[in-house]
Amino acid sequence: MKTAVLFLALALALPVAAEEPSAEAIVRKATDSGQPASSKQKTTMTLVDGKAERVRSLQISRAKSAKGEWSTRIEFLEPKDVAGTVLLSVEKDGGVSQHLYLPGVKRVRKLVGKQRGGAFMGSDFAYEDLAPRDLGKSTYKRLADETVAGKTCWTVEATPTKDAESAYTKTILSITKDDFTTVRVRFFDAKTETKVLDVDPAKIHVEGDVRIPKHMRMTSKKDGHETVIEVGAIDLKATLDPSTFDPASLDRG
């Protein structure tokens, strides 16, 4: 009896291994972690094609509704040939709509179906890359852990469901174990890996619980073309008028 009691005491004293989170739980935590309820930021987009570079200045506004739905407005400020162009992405009632305003023709175009897989203003980002993600329209699978940019990461494969209308057959995300930052996303079509997004974990804007990546690089696997996003000034206390995210207001400005 004493032996049995001793064995039980030793067993209870052994450390219990922490349960690993599921693939979907990791992605949801990474999506929600450190996101402010609203923000406005000045951003530089640099298109790199060999030695040639084109630099564009943007303002990005984001807000989260009382229902937890996200809206994003991306407006070009410079240079003159793209200034005033606006991409509006609005999440509502379980769906996402995207509208592109082209000031040259004073026209608002709603992006639907395969159009959302097109390149955003000559960059390596597709329109759908810049829209809020409906996490319920993918299935998730854990892959082997890996080290990316010096960080130990969970690796998750996300496969869009049939009703997701995505240009990708899958994406593979590398998410840091220490703070749930997505530091790499690999994009695949039906045949091959098409591009990769790298986030510099050393360049993160931290303000309270908020964590905003300040340097991202999307690289095309086909031709090596790159798009670099660098975030400048960030305002986490911006008051955003509801009309900022109203598609009907785009051609009134």
Residues 6+ apart with CB under 8 A from 101: 84, 85, 86, 87, 88, 107, 108, 109, 250, 251
- Sign of the Cα torsion 232, 110, 218, 94 reads positive
- Digit-by-digit pLDDT tens for the chain (253 residues) are 444 444 444 445 555 445 789 999 999 999 887 888 899 999 999 999 998 999 999 999 999 988 889 999 999 999 999 999 999 999 988 789 999 999 988 899 999 989 999 999 999 999 999 998 889 999 999 999 999 999 999 999 999 999 888 999 999 999 999 999 999 999 999 999 999 999 999 999 999 888 999 999 999 999 999 999 999 999 998 889 989 999 988 876 5
- Any idea which fold 20-252 has? outer membrane lipoprotein receptor (LolB), chain A (2.50.20)
Delimit the domains of the chain by residue range: 20-252
Among 114, 135, 117, which residue's Cα sits nearest to residue 127?
117
Beta-carbon count within 10 A of 148 CB: 17
Burial (CB count within 10 angstroms: exposed 0-12, middle 13-18, buried 19+), residue 110: exposed
Length of the chain: 253
Tokens representing residue 189 in the block: 């079509």
